[in-house]
Structure 1
């Protein structure tokens, strides 16, 4: 085994700040964050007291969870779910795009969370919730699975004789959840999807949930039933991205309308947690109606942590490296010291994120001291975006960003871009693992993802193209950066063909009024057949040049969602690279510089990027996988400066499915031959050998 000093050079910095970004506590990245139990333990205990009170008296309570950026609000919510999922059902509700969609958004997030399988369970929260209803406990689920739907509905109506909206429909859908074949359709109906007639018929329903009122009634139904089982914890998190008021403060009134409705309807067994940055909460507080403030039970604040807790936070991150070191370090925070904490935070208190960033900078200093002299000289400017690939598709004439990236020391600028490219690849891969179909998102969300990406590329977007108030949020327009044409876009994936007809009828008015020179319909789903009026209008409008019907693919959606998540993190000061907080304008500049969105087929179809030839000349790039892998290795080393060959192999294989250790080692050797890398200790076993990057100016000498 190697000394700790040697291990630090072999591994990447354990405090890499790319973990400081927005996440949902159901996401895989949350599970990888080391937890320090003593941090904010009093807040966790307060929540436990509140949950125990709700379990006893079934009275709904609403709590504000406030804290500075980086104080650990999202992690605290995740810890609550981890600790209390056995006695409560947890729902994660993120920000919403439009205030006119808040109830539907909350319902969708509620059902999506209930579809999640808690740790150490084999069934979703929704099925566990259903099976804990008194009717199932008394008679057993086997009786109802045998096909006694009417009997189930009758017994449920007897158990809940008042307060349930459309009880036959609602209880019938709950029954269908017990049927594996109908479970997906029943769950889709509950989350508010606008289903087609065929799916509705399977669950014996005439129509989908209609608008905000219908979504509110379903949530109320859940609340009426939940009083007889475990509490439902509604966690409203990352609300710093919700629509704003004219003075720039958050418009939280729609959320408090929901909160007040939950209380005024006498819904039992709810714990509503509203998580906000402290300053944003203070600014928004005065805009909330006084009657809605009365429903708040308590405000819990995440305070700064003491130095003992800061040491524990460091120790948790350093523990995996200490396990590889021989001899075992004397201190659990070595090579960091308590004195460093005392000197940096003389008041004895600190924000958790600040503690992590101090650890990052010090570990970077220690690691880079080990670079050979040739690698510590000031390097020449070096582009990392086209090291390998040539003739990449470029962005067409797009307006320049309002602000540019602040000038940085050259090597730092290169490292920042490399770090961003690595973060993008990591986030994109995670997005691909989480998204399996377009209809995981509402049409409103899909359109917002595309609008945000276009805005990030410097294109001015005008929302709400369609004249219909019902469907206008599914549309927007922009000016084509190349031909200066007004382009209209409509994105609808709801399968209901009646709704589709209404959208097409509204689109016809846009065409007749010549509002835009070109219209695009984005829809991967069914458009019906020649007998459907919606189908006929679609053909009439979008199958005639210059208008087009575009069919998006999952990969395009992954590009848009990845950008959206990073942009939201940047807006809330939760996006960090190296030791810098990345602002939204800086993120947009890096997106354009690196071209990470250029392979998005949907953006190519819209004319934002040049379309890639599906059958390129094989002589230009005989092995695109090797080319991409080589660029990844180069970016990895520009970012981290030095690492063992084994570490490079592990990270490359985590990012690229199916590649072998030999492929990675061969490319490392090739980069050494090109004088890009240098092996510091060639006498060591191959995977233990430390590789350092040689700056471009040294490589040319």
Structure 2
């Protein structure tokens, strides 16, 4: 039968009610609702244990068995909680897999995606019965050069559709010979294929521009009054492009170092620029995905904060500060700051349930009475709406309104967006999926980049926790200009129209004419150059002045 059938179908019906659908959604997610919200939904309690959660999931399988299957995908498992010996707690996941396989209807598909080396390291720690339920096991194999060509062709297709005249090769300006030289064994991976294609395209673009700069430089030597900043009406044509060999860079030596695209940009600068662009892209995704604080549980939030603290080299980080409480231990951590601040503890609690808040405050009080920290921070975005005469409010007021302990009230979700964006990058790095400037970045390298970029200095929560101290009085660069420069450091050469559109996607509140003005200012500041200067925006390219 259906578990908690009347409540379950009642909540499903409330999902169609504009006034109740948020509450119904929160209940199905297992959030800790207060008594008034539970009464509104007509349910006797929240989903607060593993058995309840599994049964509700099974309910969905049963009511959808004749229509649609349910697919559960577990990915990026290299950053899940670990056992005391430091190994991944994969057994907890496989326990769930076995339970659902035993009790769930036949319309459930569970996909577990894991890095091969991680799987091999942890295989012996899993129970044999759980392993027997894995069927089939799929190992992703290398691809052939023919498949690599197809991958290139699919990515270049849109550009080839716009080109005039049309190229005879679907992978132009790349060639089959490029693949054969790089992968003489005839096998590669999608990531290596894309990385090679990116390198070759970057080289090709700089060769085209350098070839044009060389021609202008030669003409300027023969034509009095003609300067590189004011070229004659020379433009790039398809014939010019056809003459440039991607595997044989231009050997013309008349181009000065100052006016050579793609030269003298240190790889560290390219990588840092690429990382900042990657961050901005991921941050925008995070803003769209996380619109309510309830979208993430407190255990996840405190875990994200811990990752940020580790990246900023905060010392003495210890999880589960509220160790006396099984419920709230995972909502807390502590760390060490230099004297006189000493041991700092943090508790993240978003519950709106009055009873739960009281027990959280009780656990905080016990830790304070035990002198386990000098300062305790309570982090909340959810407003405390308890009546002033309740035990929970009185204890909260005693702890955080009349002592050295501090309640940090998050006015918006910007701090959560910073932490969640970094968490996403950590997951990518742990799964060997984070590629910056054609290099797969490790977690250690990611931490170094996050410090070097000082991106987390803009996180309000880290400022409130006194983790970040801003002492630099340097005037920040205009964000549009900084973005444009980062794009050019990464791509070296880019069409003007493409650059404007790319920038507009990042700053969609600005008009394109405003972006054009910022690019013009960078040209006047000798940071960028356009070629040909007197060409139309459709034919002009932009390159970075080294």
In which range does the TM-score fall when normalised by the shorter chain?
0.7 to 0.9
Query: Which runs of 5 or more residues in structure 2 are unaligned?
Result: 214-254
Aligned 8 A contact 2:484 2:503 in 1: yes
Shift of 1:586: 1.2
| Deviations 1:146-177 (CA, angstroms, capped at 9, x unpaired) | xxxxxxxxxxxxxxxx3x33323223222323
Shift of 1:611: 6.7
SS at match of 1:276: coil
SS at match of 1:235: strand
1:154 — aligned with what? none
Count of matched residue pairs = 496
1:529-540 alignment, distance < 5 Å = 529-540=387-398
SS at match of 1:298: coil
| Deviations 1:160-201 (CA, angstroms, capped at 9, x unpaired) | xx3x33323223222323333222211210110111222111
Q: 1:422 aligns with which of 267, 271, 277?
A: 277
Aligned 8 A contact 2:493 2:544 in 1: yes
Q: 2:144 aligns with which of 306, 321, 326?
A: 306
Are 2:420 and 1:561 equivalent residues in the alignment?
A: yes
Aligned 8 A contact 2:312 2:447 in 1: yes
Aligned 8 A contact 1:307 1:341 in 2: yes
- In angstroms, what is the RMSD of aligned CA positions? 2.3
Q: Which has the larger radius of gyration?
A: 2
Q: 2:356 aligns with which of 477, 495, 499?
A: 499
Q: 2:368 aligns with which of 511, 526, 538?
A: 511
Are 2:382 and 1:544 equivalent residues in the alignment?
A: no
Q: Distance in 2 between matches of 1:607 and 1:250?
A: 32
Are 2:486 and 1:486 equivalent residues in the alignment?
A: no
Shift of 1:669: 1.9
Aligned 8 A contact 1:645 1:665 in 2: no
Q: Distance in 2 between matches of 1:349 and 1:546?
A: 63
SS at match of 1:286: helix
For the structure 1 residues 438 and 520, does the alpha-carbon distance in structure 2 shift closer, same or farther, using more than 3 Å as the test? same
User: Once structures 1 and 2 are overlaid, which stretch shifts more, 230-239 or 556-565?
Assistant: 230-239
1:204-353 alignment, distance < 5 Å = 204-245=42-83, 249-265=87-103, 267-353=105-191
Shift of 1:612: 9.9
Shift of 1:345: 2.1
Aligned 8 A contact 1:196 1:495 in 2: yes
Query: Which runs of 5 or more residues in structure 1 are unaligned?
Result: 1-161, 381-409, 696-701
SS at match of 2:184: coil
Are 2:461 and 1:599 equivalent residues in the alignment?
A: no
| Deviations 1:208-232 (CA, angstroms, capped at 9, x unpaired) | 1112232222223333434344321
Aligned 8 A contact 1:224 1:268 in 2: no
Q: 2:478 aligns with which of 587, 604, 627?
A: 627
1:127 — aligned with what? none
Aligned 8 A contact 2:76 2:430 in 1: no
For the structure 1 residues 666 and 499, does the alpha-carbon distance in structure 2 shift closer, same or farther, using more than 3 Å as the test? same
1:599-618 alignment, distance < 5 Å = 599-610=458-469
Aligned 8 A contact 2:277 2:487 in 1: yes
SS at match of 1:366: helix
Shift of 1:482: 7.3
> TM-score by structure 2 length?
0.86
1:391 — aligned with what? none
For the structure 1 residues 339 and 571, does the alpha-carbon distance in structure 2 shift closer, same or farther, using more than 3 Å as the test? same
Aligned 8 A contact 1:231 1:270 in 2: yes
For the structure 1 residues 325 and 687, does the alpha-carbon distance in structure 2 shift closer, same or farther, using more than 3 Å as the test? closer
For the structure 1 residues 573 and 546, does the alpha-carbon distance in structure 2 shift closer, same or farther, using more than 3 Å as the test? same
Q: Distance in 1 between matches of 2:262 and 2:26?
A: 57
Shift of 1:299: 1.2
Q: Distance in 1 between matches of 2:435 and 2:183?
A: 21
2:310 — aligned with what? 455
Q: Distance in 2 between matches of 1:322 and 1:229?
A: 41
Q: Distance in 2 between matches of 1:430 and 1:525?
A: 23
Aligned 8 A contact 2:38 2:45 in 1: yes
Aligned 8 A contact 1:491 1:521 in 2: yes
Are 2:494 and 1:655 equivalent residues in the alignment?
A: no
SS at match of 1:300: coil
Larger relative contact order, structure 1 or 2 (CA cutoff 8 Å, min sep 6): 1
Q: 2:530 aligns with which of 679, 691, 696?
A: 679
Aligned 8 A contact 1:249 1:280 in 2: no
Shift of 1:273: 1.5
For the structure 1 residues 482 and 421, does the alpha-carbon distance in structure 2 shift closer, same or farther, using more than 3 Å as the test? farther
Are 2:287 and 1:432 equivalent residues in the alignment?
A: yes
Q: 1:471 aligns with which of 318, 321, 328?
A: 328
1:102-121 alignment, distance < 5 Å = none
2:445 — aligned with what? 586
Q: Distance in 1 between matches of 2:290 and 2:260?
A: 42
